[in-house]
Structures are given as structure tokens and as C-alpha cells.
């Protein structure tokens, strides 16, 4: 059987630090390869698009350098105009650059293509003209699967129409507009444009599917929920407990099952501010570890801890009264910036419990990862999170800090409950394993006339 060439975008795959969408795109590429497809990935790096193949490869993997400030507006305008008429994606040769050190960030692929500044030009162009850009892909792909709602459509090399499908993970900018920095008018125009143009829309939970149907008016039959797979590397998940304990103590000064953990971006949607309030109210003596990059409005989320988010400014030495109490409270919470996946997996495994009371999630990958590793979880009873957690987690109202505090107390004090949740977690997570995900993908692509025969 001929291997169908399926293209996906590299919009989020160029980010140095992991995101849920990047994890989704990498997982999709691996399942497509395992199902027998040929996979092409379309990037938008600033790298060379000239005739020198080696230069294209080298600058693709190290796209540093930028135009002088005065040239950027001219370059943006030129690219926006060209994208409106249609641009050709340029193949990136692979083989000369040693990529072992960055393999974890790369998708599974057979072909790489690039259009310099593609995604920036697409977003700016849509904002100016309300039109989707066009990009022509070489090699006769059967279908373009955009893993994120971008204002682009793909064509074949001779401008022939291709089925374009789009994954919309959630509609948070419309459901909780105060929690994101998205330009809401542009975002709404983009997802409405996708609703009109898409051959099909993919999403990752029944909650997100309901939002897409209800808010965008898309017929149910044009939306498929494939969920998302959790795939953690065996090197991290099977690491001996003694080694994980040593890493926790050596890297972070933490002890096995003697701390609670939140991991994810520190931003309004993640509800970290209320989590800290609930944790401090719970009276729990084990520290709360918050592991994640400080994103938009993180100062507000962390305001209860540090007015300036910096421990350096907290006075040292014996302090009494209100200041002393404040310092003791602050010292119960540890902030850790982004850590590599191999260390994050150990942090999750060693936690007494994972606390993830997000206000809204399209899928909730941190919950599934914790369940997969057998770590007890407290999470929200909103959006997709009850679907993902099932009966394997404590569910709370993310706006009710008292309810959250009581749940933290329960997790902390009840060893039998922790053991029960730890046993249920892997069984629940198995529903989102690679095999189940592959079956859903195979059925969805079959609806579009593409047969995938691999085992997945």
C-alpha cells in the first residue's frame, strides 16, 4: 500500500520549552508514522530559503539573527502580500546537522518544509485583511492537518485544493476572555474562518466539542473528538525509585512524597493564586512546589507570596509579628522555573499529590501525566477535567478555596485515599494511551478518505 503523505504544521514545535500544543503535535506525528503515513512538517523559521541546501539545513536548526529594526515592517508587509497570493514551502534537507541533543523536541517526520516567518506573516496578514494566507506544499500531500487554529490554508504544488483540517484544542479566549492575551477580535475571526473553510475540525475533549458546536455553529458531524495521548519516555517512568529520590534531594532539596506539586504555566487560567490561598489555609506542613514558567499576569497569581515575586527581598534573620508570620507562610511554597522533562517526571512521581485546579482546560495533560505515574490528583470539576480524571482524582470547584483547602487536607492526612487514587490513576490514564488514540485517529482520517493501516 502507498503511504499517504500527511502534512502537519510546526507552529508550536519551534518553541524551546514544552507546551501542551507542542506535545500534541509531536504525539500526532508519531502516531501518524506508526499508522503507516508519511509525515511532512511545515515550519515558519527565519532560516534561509535560498538554493544552498546545507545553509537551509544549518539555519533551520539555528535560526538566530534578525533583521534590523527599520527593515522589519517592510519585510512583514512584503510577506503578508505574498502570502495572500500564495507562497511555496521550501524543502529542508536533513542529515548533515547532528540533532541527537534536540531529538525530544522534534516531531516524527519524513520531510521538513519551511517558509520564513510564515506564521507571523499569517497572523499579521489576517489582522490587516481578514483573509487566510495560502501556502503550497511540494510532494503531493493528501491532506493538511493544522494542529492549532492558524489563518492559513495549504494547497498542492500546482495550487490544487487540499483538504485542510484543524485542531481546535479549546475556545478559552471566548469562554474566559479575561484569562488570555489573545486579540479577541482576531481570534474570533480566525476560528470562524476555520469553521467555514475546514474539511473537518478535530478537538481533544467532549467539553471542547460542545463549545465548538455551540459557539461557532459547526454541525456535530464536522467535529471529531480524538482526545490526546499521554506518552512519557520509559527512561523517566521506569527510573528506579532510589534514583528518583536521590535526584529530588540533590536537585531540589525535596523528599519523596513529602511535598505537593503544581506544574504548568503560571497564568490566570491555571488558577495558581487561589491554589496558594487554599494551600496556606489548609494548614498542610508539607511544602507546595509550583513548577512552571511565569507567564502573563503571574505577578497577580503570586501576589500572596511575594509582592515582587522575589525571595531575595524577604528579610533574613529572626522576625516576629505579622512579618514573621508572612515569611513563614512564604517559605512553605517553592517556586521552580521550567525544568527538563526527565526531571519533571521525577517531580511528579515523588509528589504526595498533584494539585491542578485550572479554571478551564481543553484536555488537561498534567492530570493525565500524573494519573499515568500513579500520583494522587486534585483537579477541577469544570471543562474537560472530569472527563480526563474520571473517578481517579478528587474533583473540586476551582473558584471555591475552602473546598480546595479541605481537599488538600484530605489528601495530606488520608494515606488510604492516596493509595486508592494511586491505584486508580494508571487505569484511568490507560484510556488515553497510544493504542486508543491511534484507533480514534484512524477512524477520523477514514472519514476523509485516507486509510491508515499501521498498528499505531
Class of domain 5-229+434-447: alpha beta
Q: What tens-digit pLDDT sequence spans the chain (456 residues)?
A: 589 999 999 998 875 555 788 899 999 999 999 999 999 999 998 888 889 999 999 999 987 666 566 678 888 889 999 999 999 999 999 999 999 888 878 999 999 999 999 999 999 999 999 999 999 999 999 999 999 999 999 999 999 999 999 999 999 999 999 999 899 999 999 999 999 999 999 999 999 999 999 999 999 999 999 999 988 877 777 889 999 999 999 999 999 999 999 999 888 999 999 999 999 999 999 999 999 887 766 667 776 665 444 443 334 444 444 444 444 455 689 988 878 888 899 999 999 999 999 999 999 999 999 999 999 999 999 999 999 999 999 999 999 999 999 999 999 999 999 999 999 999 999 999 999 999 999 999 999 999 998 766
Class of domain 234-430: alpha beta
Tell me the residue ranges of DSSP E strands in 194-256.
200-203, 223-225
Residue 234: the pLDDT is 75
CB 295 within 8 A of CB 337: no
End-to-end CA separation in angstroms for the chain: 16
DSSP letters along 339-396, please? --HHHHHHHHHH-SEEEE--S--SS-HHHHHHHHTT--EEEESSTTHHHHHTTSSEEE
User: Where in the chain are the domains?
Assistant: 5-229+434-447, 234-430
Helix (H, G, I), strand (E, B) or coil at 285: coil
CB 446 within 8 A of CB 439: no
Minimal CA–CA distance to 195: which of 177, 172, 168?
168
Residue 71: the pLDDT is 76
Q: What 8-state DSSP symbol labels residue 424?
A: H
Name the region of 321 (left: φ>0; alpha: ψ -120 to 50; beta: rest).
left
Helix (H, G, I), strand (E, B) or coil at 361: coil
DSSP letters along 395-422, please? EE-TT-HHHHHHHHHHHHH-HHHHHHHH
Residue 361: the pLDDT is 96
Q: Rounded to 10 degrees, what is the CA torsion of 443, 36, 5, 56?
A: 130
Look up residue 299 and give its three cell numbers: 505577578
Same CATH fold assignment for domains 5-229+434-447 and 234-430: yes
Altogether, the residues listed in the chain come to a count of 456
Distance CA 99, CA 96 (A): 9
* Cβ-based burial of 297 (10 A; exposed 0-12, middle 13-18, buried ≥19): middle
Residue 1: the pLDDT is 57
Amino acid at each position: 500500500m502507498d503511504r499517504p503523505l500527511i502534512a502537519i504544521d510546526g507552529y508550536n514545535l519551534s518553541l524551546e520549552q514544552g507546551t501542551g500544543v507542542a506535545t500534541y503535535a509531536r504525539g500526532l506525528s508519531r502516531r501518524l508514522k506508526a499508522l503507516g503515513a508519511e509525515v511532512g512538517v511545515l515550519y515558519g523559521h527565519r532560516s534561509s530559503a535560498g538554493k544552498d541546501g546545507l545553509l537551509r539545513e544549518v539555519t533551520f536548526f539555528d535560526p538566530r539573527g534578525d533583521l534590523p529594526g527599520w527593515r522589519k515592517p517592510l519585510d512583514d508587509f512584503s510577506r503578508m502580500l505574498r502570502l495572500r497570493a500564495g507562497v511555496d514551502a521550501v524543502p529542508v534537507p536533513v542529515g548533515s546537522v547532528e540533532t541527537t541533543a534536540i531529538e525530544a523536541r522534534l516531531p516524527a517526520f519524513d520531510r521538513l518544509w519551511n517558509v520564513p516567518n510564515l506564521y507571523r506573516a499569517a497572523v499579521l496578514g489576517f489582522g490587516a485583511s481578514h483573509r487566510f494566507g495560502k501556502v503550497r506544499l511540494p510532494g503531493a500531500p493528501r491532506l493538511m492537518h493544522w494542529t492549532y487554529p492558524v489563518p492559513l490554508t495549504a494547497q498542492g504544488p500546482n495550487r490544487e485544493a487540499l483538504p485542510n483540517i484543524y485542531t481546535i484544542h479549546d475556545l478559552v479566549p471566548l469562554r474566559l476572555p479575561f484569562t488570555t492575551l489573545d486579540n479577541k477580535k482576531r481570534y474570533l475571526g480566525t476560528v470562524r474562518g476555520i469553521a467555514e473553510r475546514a474539511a473537518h475540525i478535530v478537538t481533544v475533549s467532549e467539553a471542547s466539542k460542545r463549545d465548538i458546536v455551540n459557539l461557532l455553529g459547526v454541525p456535530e458531524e464536522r467535529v471529531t473528538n480524538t482526545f490526546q495521548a499521554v506518552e512519557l519516555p520509559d527512561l523517566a517512568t521506569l527510573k528506579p525509585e532510589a534514583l528518583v529520590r536521590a535526584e529530588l534531594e540533590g536537585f531540589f532539596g525535596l523528599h519523596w512524597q513529602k511535598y505537593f506539586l503544581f506544574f504548568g504555566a503560571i497564568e490566570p487560567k491555571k488558577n495558581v493564586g487561589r491554589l496558594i490561598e487554599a494551600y496556606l489555609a489548609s494548614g498542610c506542613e508539607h511544602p507546595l512546589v509550583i513548577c512552571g514558567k511565569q507567564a502573563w499576569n503571574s505577578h497577580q497569581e503570586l501576589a500572596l507570596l511575594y509582592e515582587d515575586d522575589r525571595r531575595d527581598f524577604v528579610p533574613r534573620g529572626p522576625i516576629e509579628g505579622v512579618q514573621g508570620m508572612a515569611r513563614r507562610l512564604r517559605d512553605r511554597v517553592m517556586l521552580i522555573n521550567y525544568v527538563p522533562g526527565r526531571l519533571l517526571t521525577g517531580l511528579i512521581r515523588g509528589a504526595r499529590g498533584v494539585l491542578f485546579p485550572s479554571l478551564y482546560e481543553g484536555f488537561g495533560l498534567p492530570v493525565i501525566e500524573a494519573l499515568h505515574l500513579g500520583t494522587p490528583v486534585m483537579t477541577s470539576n469544570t471543562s474537560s477535567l472530569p472527563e480526563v480524571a474520571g473517578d481517579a482524582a478528587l474533583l473540586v470547584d476551582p473558584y471555591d478555596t475552602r473546598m480546595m483547602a479541605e481537599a488538600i487536607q484530605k489528601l495530606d492526612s488520608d494515606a488510604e485515599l492516596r493509595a486508592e487514587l494511586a491505584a486508580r490513576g494508571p487505569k484511568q490514564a490507560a484510556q488515553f494511551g497510544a493504542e486508543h488514540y491511534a484507533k480514534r485517529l484512524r477512524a477520523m482520517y477514514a472519514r476523509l478518505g485516507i486509510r491508515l493501516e499501521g498498528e499505531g
